[in-house]
A and B are shown apart, each in its own frame.
Chain A
Amino acid sequence: MENKGLTKVDLIFEKIDNYEVLAKGFKMSRDEIIQEMLDSGLKGRGGAGFPTGMKWKFTAAEKNPVKYIVCNADEGEPGTFKDREILDRVSNKVHGGMAIAGKAIGAKTGIVYLRGEYRYLLPKLMIELDSFHKMIKEIGYDFNIEYRMGSGAYICGEESALFESIEGKRGEPRNKPPYPTVSGVYDKPTSINNVETLVTAMMIIQHGAKNFIQYGTKDSRGSKVFSISGDTPTPGIFELALGMTVQQFVNEFGDGDTKAVQVGGASGFCVPRKKFAETIIGFEGMPTGGSMKLFNSSRSMYNVLHNYLEFFTEESCGQCTPCRVGCQQLLKGVEKVKKGEAKSTYLNELMKLADSMKIAAKCGLGQSVGNAFKSIVGNFKEEIIY
């Protein structure tokens, strides 16, 4: 595996002339924009990592005259706060990225789904959206963006649950297929992209795919914004090239006593100290939507796991049994083991339950509960039991 070390990058928050970049983008043909995205190797920055160029290509190929570009700003993964910062500081680039994506897929309407917790940003965003609409009109391009608000439901970050919510329903994930590129919001072909992905797309138009791929590795091109919190002297938002090891990350951001790093939030994986050096942060190792939480030796990993399981138990939409009951049973199970009401071998049964959830749960929420569960129980068994 390639290992490029830790490199700080300034792409997402870089000051650019939006007018110029958009004018450049609108002059490109749809195929040229999509090809540029494919060449850049850009993968979705929300966490799932689907290649952006492919998503746009699939949506572009649909014949429906009405299509949508949806910006997923329902940032809810514990430990992630980068999208809030991006919207606060460079919303123009988010709107610009949506317009570029709109051109590529053939959509005239963009919808930003903003989580309810970030409603305080809305007045400012409305002013910025207004000037954005004026700007693209000046360029002579027809594209309109509207904002829809969430109301406090983590599951609405799941793309099909998000569509349901926009449509005014309970945020319950749909069966797939059909995928959003075929039938998304209002059952129309939809490309749904993360806030940061759209800004990155804008920057790829600005700098070109060739310049973008100088950062990162073969499987993880470019840089991304990391949300860093927990036991660190420097919590905050940092843009780093992908492909560093957890060790290099800890050397930069740790407090000298880091025993574990949770990569990718509650739905991600826990990396213990002994695996820092061998674990690459990127799609070839530990993928992340940007959430990086550091825990030092004063922290109980039981408390960490318990907190995550409570989170999932509350945020499970309850639609499918493996997730609804599975989350509750995992939570009750670790409590029983901790209290000595169940033998430590009961953890093995719970590990199997986590595996079943991965296979049987309907959406990414239930499927990923096992990530944190298995990596924490697997690496810190004694802390869970005693």
Chain B
Amino acid sequence: MYQVGNLVKELSAKHGQKRESLMPILQAIVQKYNYLTDEAMVEVARELDISAAEVYGTASFYTFLDTQVKGKYVIRVCKTITCSMKGKSDIIHTIEEILKIKVGETTSDNQFSLVETNCIGWCHKAPAILINELPYTELTPEKVSEIIKDYMKK
């Protein structure tokens, strides 16, 4: 359940109410809920005494500060050249099959979102993905299907 309520206050107490507190606050909200609602961004704007447009403008610049609904687990598949050469498409097909969603979509139970992302720094162990913050590397369709199924049990 997405509840901004006290969270923004707690975060501003921790990170401050300056402009430079904005990113850490938004990042902490995303860490907890995986995306930013309009309501959350308005609340942050009020707390930092800046316009909501400034908050949205900043959030929308950064790929990881999602402003659209995202699942509990965001699966980011690296699509940059080495991962692409080493079987990224097979990894995506496998995940799509298991979760019954396409790239860019979120499962109906809001558990998983599947997106593509640019180089995540694991080219020597391609193909690689991130699930929230954790990297999984040297994937095969078998390996990734086990990993996703483990997450489904969580």
Contact = CB atoms under 8 A, between A and B. Distances in A.
Contacts of A153: 61-63
Interface in A257-310: 266, 293, 299, 303-304, 307-308
A178 interface: no
A137 interface: no
Interface stretch (B2-10, B117-125, B140-148): B117-125
B82 A165 contact: no
Interface in B12-68: 18-24, 26-27, 30, 57-58, 61-65
B65 A151 contact: yes
A2 interface: no
B62 A229 contact: no
B61 A168 contact: no
B64 A79 contact: no
A152 B65 CA distance: 8
A307 B58 contact: no
B119 A79 contact: yes
B117 A152 contact: yes
Nearest to B59: A151
A68 to B, nearest CB: 12
B111 interface: no
A372 B80 CA distance: 15
Contacts of A236: 124
A170 B120 CA distance: 20
A154 B118 contact: yes
B123 A79 contact: yes
Interface residues of B, number: 37
A229 B123 contact: yes
A120 B20 CA distance: 22
B19 A169 contact: yes
Interface string A233-255: 00111000000000000000000
A118 interface: yes
Interface in A159-181: 165-172
Contacts of B123: 78-81, 227, 229-230, 235, 293
Given A151-B27, A235-B123, A170 B81 contact: no
Contact of A120 (B24, B126, B134): B134
Given A76-B119, A80-B121, A168 B19 contact: yes
Interface in A121-156: 148-154
Choose among B24, B57, B85, B125 the residue with the greatest number of A CB atoms under 10 Å from its CB: B85
Interface string A192-235: 00000000000000000000000000000000000111110001
B121 A117 contact: yes
Nearest to A118: B121
B133 A120 contact: yes
Interface of chain A, main secondary structure = mixed
B118 A299 contact: no
Contacts of B23: 148-149, 151, 165-166, 168
B135 A79 contact: no
B121 to A, nearest CB: 4
A153 B26 CA distance: 15
A170 B20 contact: no
A25 to B, nearest CB: 29
Contacts of B122: 81
A168 B57 contact: no
A355 interface: no
A293 B64 contact: no
Contacts of B58: 168-170
A314 interface: yes
Contacts of A303: 84
Nearest to B57: A170
Contacts of A299: 85
13 contacts: A75-B121, A78-B80, A84-B121, A120-B133, A151-B27, A152-B65, A166-B23, A170-B57, A171-B62, A229-B82, A307-B84, A315-B118, A317-B61
Interface of A: 75-81, 83-84, 115-120, 148-154, 165-172, 186, 227-231, 235-237, 266, 293, 299, 303-304, 307-308, 311, 314-315, 317
Q: Which 9 A-B pairs have CB atoms at the shortest separation, nearest pair first?
A: A152-B63, A168-B22, A229-B123, A151-B62, A235-B124, A152-B64, A170-B61, A151-B64, A81-B121
Given A81-B124, A149-B24, A152-B117, 4 more contacts: A76-B119, A151-B30, A266-B81, A315-B118
